[in-house]
Amino acid sequence: MILPENRNALRFRNRPLLERLNQLAASTDRHVRIETARSGQPTLKLAVDGSFQYVHSKYDPQREAQRLIVRAHDLGQNDTVLFVGCGLGYTLRAFSAAHPDKRLILYEPDLQVLEAFLSYCPLDQWPSGVLTAIFTDERKLDNYLLTSIVRGQRLGLFVLPIYERLYGPKVTRLLKQLKEMMLDKRDNLAAEASFQKRWSINAVRNFPALLETPDMLQDVDRSLFAGKPAVIVAAGPSLNAEWNNLRRIKAGGLAWLFAVGSAVKGLINHGIAPDAVCSYDPQAHNYQVVKIVDEKGLTTIPLIFGSTVGYETVERFGGPKLHMIVATDSVSTKLLRRTDGAPITVLSDAASIAVIAFEMLSLLRADPIILAGQNLAYLHNQYYAQGIAYKGWNGATLSEAQQQNALKVKDVYGNDVLTKHNLNMMRQDLEFYIRAAKGSHVINTTKGGAAIAGAAFMPLEEVIGRFLKQKVVDPDWYRCSNHYDRKRVIARLKNVSRTAGDLEVFLARMVKALKRLDELCRQDASPEQIRSQIARFGKTMHKWLHNPYFNTFILPMMKVQTEHAAKVLEQVRFSGDVRLSGRQIVAEFNKLIAVCLDNKQALEPDVKQLEETTYSLKE
């Protein structure tokens, strides 16, 4: 019977799981047996294929668990450990005894085993926040791992030996997913560290353009897109087989054509003018991708830009422009207000502009959403379609090294096709948003491209015959105005700007507090004095982290470093050596304050320009 305290805990923390366990209690089909081991402790065995197999030792399960944890000595180097299989909790207790500061996640695929665990093992023996989650469903575990594990966090895996035999395929899949997930998070962390300054600079430089251009998701007439077919045209090599089909679509206005990234160059070079080009790369050279529109004098092709796109693109593009607010933009989300009072719609950050465009079209309720040239893999050792050559590399052929480092995935025909990690990550991102999209059918027309879950393959010529029957495109669709409340925007900006002086005061106080903490750690101060000084520093740090000027302009430039410092602070809280903890805080936060001061100084001219431009606008 489940312990009363565990039942109460589940009632508050995981009621659906408690309901499943309540239903299980009425079942008479039992394959779990609990007996007393020779040591006098309870042990657990399972009925498997007509015989019983022990989950724990039938002699001394506690000692066995301690040996298993000692053997897995590298496990303690992780921040969080996922335990597959709980049994009666012996391995979890042994690990927590050795590493009390580590967080635990439990995945138990056998509900009867979990019931036994909750009948013998009180959950409150772990401090709050240590045993963070319990799962019995692998899909829910997948979602938790993808959304809840912090970037840069080290995640370990421990599998009960018997579970490696009973659930081999599940364990193998989980291992593979964890490796991919941590690799993705490592890449995301590297990308964020690389781009975070550009994101902030771009957000500040692009803000005046946002006040002068329509929001694609909130100002454009949605009825123009709802229930209408739209094609996301990417630059993959399969596009070479589709030029005639795309000309036919364009000539009849049979579907919206949205070019993403470099595809605009291929389309224009083949005489096809897309209805818009989408762009959001934060780098300075991004304008090179879209400048062909200006060079050809195509003044009716609008640019839909992400709000943290390279500001050079926004400043230099000569045609009409619309914008999308993206999650990496802290300036717009904090300052913009609409006259209708509606919240600002923000698009998630993603690995590619094609994914951003898909999220945009799904929110506009376009249907069907058609993917073209979305290879997400190599085709005949090619990366780009024809007509999309760039100086220094035309993408014609992969090198031997690139081929050797390539991954294998299935293409739309079920054959193996080569890809690389970042393309595979884009595919996974796209699949995630396809699952989340409601009301839109997704069709993948990319011949020879990677199979995309949720997007059935259908050749583009067949899609035209079955779904593209009439003209849907209005050539003047982008001619509209935004509905930003400039009076409120100016007021918000003034309120944020006023706190710039407070930020300098807080930083000076933090420097002084750290200097005093360093002195106490070097002297023969008592642990109580050091703890008291750490607490004083923490209060000032709290004010710094909640300063509006810092949060709006500076934090996005140093988010990776700030998260790392917060992680160090969290770790030293559990340290028994308060003097060592103080020294670590001094070293880490002196570096962080220096980064903050440098970023503030570097961004000040752009913020001043933003203020002057915004204040000069008519309310």
Is 289 or 575 the better-scoring residue by pLDDT? 289
Residue 522 CB neighbour total at 10 angstroms:
12
614 vs 209: CA distance, rounded Å = 10
Predicted pLDDT at 49: 80
CA 458, 459, 460, 466 torsion: positive or negative? negative
State whether residue 571 is helix, strand or coil.
Answer: helix
Predicted pLDDT at 126: 81
Residue 314 reports pLDDT greater than 50: yes
Tens digits of residue pLDDT in 16-57: 888 888 888 777 788 899 999 999 999 999 988 878 889 999
Where do the H-state alpha helices sit in 405-526? 421-436, 460-467, 486-498, 500-522
Residue 604 CB neighbour total at 10 angstroms:
12
Predicted pLDDT at 190: 45
Q: Is-contact 614 208, C-beta < 8 A?
A: yes
Where do the H-state alpha helices sit in 364-485? 400-404, 421-436, 460-467
The DSSP call for residue 284 is G
Tens digits of residue pLDDT in 423-451: 888 888 899 889 888 778 999 999 999 99
Q: Is-contact 228 590, C-beta < 8 A?
A: no
> Tokens in use for 245?
């089909």
Is 156 or 441 the better-scoring residue by pLDDT? 441
Sequence-ordered list of residues with C-beta below 8 angstroms from that of 114, at least 6 positions apart, any chain: 21, 86, 108, 134, 136
Question: Which residue, among 311, 279, 277, 278, has the nearest Cα to 293 in the 3D structure?
Answer: 277
Do the bridges between strand 155-159 and strand 80-84 make them parallel or antiparallel, or are there none, so unpaired? parallel
Predicted pLDDT at 189: 45
Looking at the DSSP bridge assignments, the partners of residue 416 are 410
> Tokens in use for 249?
């679509």
Tens digits of residue pLDDT in 383-422: 555 555 544 444 445 556 666 566 788 989 999 888 887 7
Predicted pLDDT at 395: 47
pLDDT confidence bin for 147, thresholds 50/70/90: low
Cα separation values, 263 from 239, 332, 457, 504, Å: 9, 28, 20, 46
User: For 181, how many CA atoms within 13 A lie in the half-sphere containing its CB?
Assistant: 21
Predicted pLDDT at 360: 96
Sequence-ordered list of residues with C-beta below 8 angstroms from that of 123, at least 6 positions apart, any chain: 5, 6, 9, 131
Is 117 or 192 the better-scoring residue by pLDDT? 117
Residue 182 reports pLDDT greater than 60: no
Is 156 or 326 the better-scoring residue by pLDDT? 326
Looking at the DSSP bridge assignments, the partners of residue 53 are 46
Q: Report the predicted TM-score, pTM, of the whole model to 2 decimal places.
A: 0.69
Predicted pLDDT at 129: 64
Question: Which residue, among 325, 326, 354, has the nearest Cα to 422 in the 3D structure?
Answer: 354
Residue 171 reports pLDDT greater than 70: yes
Do the bridges between strand 42-48 and strand 32-36 make them parallel or antiparallel, or are there none, so unpaired? antiparallel
Cα separation values, 408 from 403, 417, 421, Å: 10, 6, 10
Predicted pLDDT at 153: 63
Average pLDDT, the chain: 86
Tens digits of residue pLDDT in 532-570: 998 888 889 889 999 999 999 999 888 878 877 877 776
pLDDT confidence bin for 228, thresholds 50/70/90: very high
Residue 71 reports pLDDT greater than 70: yes
Which of 261-270, 290-299, 413-422, 566-575 has the lowest average pLDDT? 566-575
Predicted pLDDT at 574: 56
